[in-house]
Amino acid sequence: MIVDSHLAGHPIRYLQETDSTNDIARKAAAAGADKGTVVIAERQTKGRGRLGRSWISPPGIGLYFSVILSPELPAADLAKITLTTGVALCRAIRGYLDYPMLKWPNDLLLQGKKVAGILTETMPMQNSRPMVILGIGINVNHPKHGLPTELADTIGTIQAAYGKPLPRGELLERILRQNDELLDQAEREGFSNILEEWRSYDACRMRYLSWLTTEGRVIRGLSRGIDDEGLLRIQDEEGKVHEVVSGDITIGTTIGTVPET
């Protein structure tokens, strides 16, 4: 992939190989890199995901990049950036495919399989607003044998859904433009319209879910969607509604009806 020194108004730092673009972006931000700078690598040797997972990043077929942000938003709203970027990914993908979906909080699904993930990390700063490192990994043109076979049921690629390879540079540009537009909107008017759009892509809608909490408990129940703070709500069999702040969600196969609360 050839990426110019600027794309969609963003300065680009293009690397053939690195450990994790989030780590490089964090160092660059600490050293004073411009807000909006994008660090992109053809290959990552230690790509990271949520919950300590790794992000498999083979060369030449995926998009692995991190954007340095310094949004004019209250600290309490920074967690909503992940959801906002999910919407930006859906809008960008819709240029090629009609049915992207989002699994709370950070997964993009196509045909029920995860094709992209978002890792947002906040950097407190001494005398200014926090910086945010927004990392995005996308399985774009991976051939079937390019991903571990044990993940074949859960992990997919855009190419598999689209039927042919996608131009990665074009996809990157679309994502950057959509993300900028949405973050500008959030700074201007808040997140309520963005969260409403997120709900239209919600893969958990009317689904029974299992939530593995960070303490290792499993809570099962029906998704009640995200609230106005972007937290997922699950209603268990006793009718109690849990707000999910962190942890891992598995989508069940059963579709439910929402009981009255």
| In the complex, least distance from residue 186 CB atom to ligand BTN, rounded to whole angstroms | 21
- Choose among 74, 58, 108: nearest CA to 88: 108
In angstroms, what is the minimal distance from the CB of 258 to ligand BTN?
28
**202/157 Cα distance (integer angstroms):** 19
* Closest-approach residue to ligand BTN (CB): 117
CB 120 within 8 A of CB 133: yes
For the CA atoms of 85, 124, 249, 117, what is the dihedral angle to 10 degrees?
A: 40
Cβ distance to ligand BTN smaller for residue 155 or 206: 155
Smallest gap from residue 154 Cβ to ligand BTN (A):
12
With CA atoms as reference, report the closest residue to 232 among 83, 92, 93, 124. Answer: 83
CA distance 22 to 136: 9
- Minimum CB distance to ligand BTN, residue 15 (Å): 11
Applying CB under 6 A, the residues found at the interface with ligand BTN are: 20-22, 44, 47-50, 53, 55, 64-66, 106-107, 117-119, 135-137
Please identify, using beta-carbon distances, which residue of 22 and 235 lies nearer to ligand BTN: 22
CA–CA dist 158, 142 (Å, integer): 8
Kindly report the number of other CB atoms within 10 A of residue 130's CB atom. 14
Nearest distance, CB of residue 192 and ligand BTN, angstroms:
25
CA gap 163, 242 in Å, rounded: 40
Please report where in the chains the tokens 């399985």 appear, as a residue. 139
One-letter-per-residue 3-state SS of 25-60: HHHHHHCCCCCCCEEEEEEECCCECHHHCECCCCCC
- Closest approach, Cβ 49 to ligand BTN, in A, equals 3
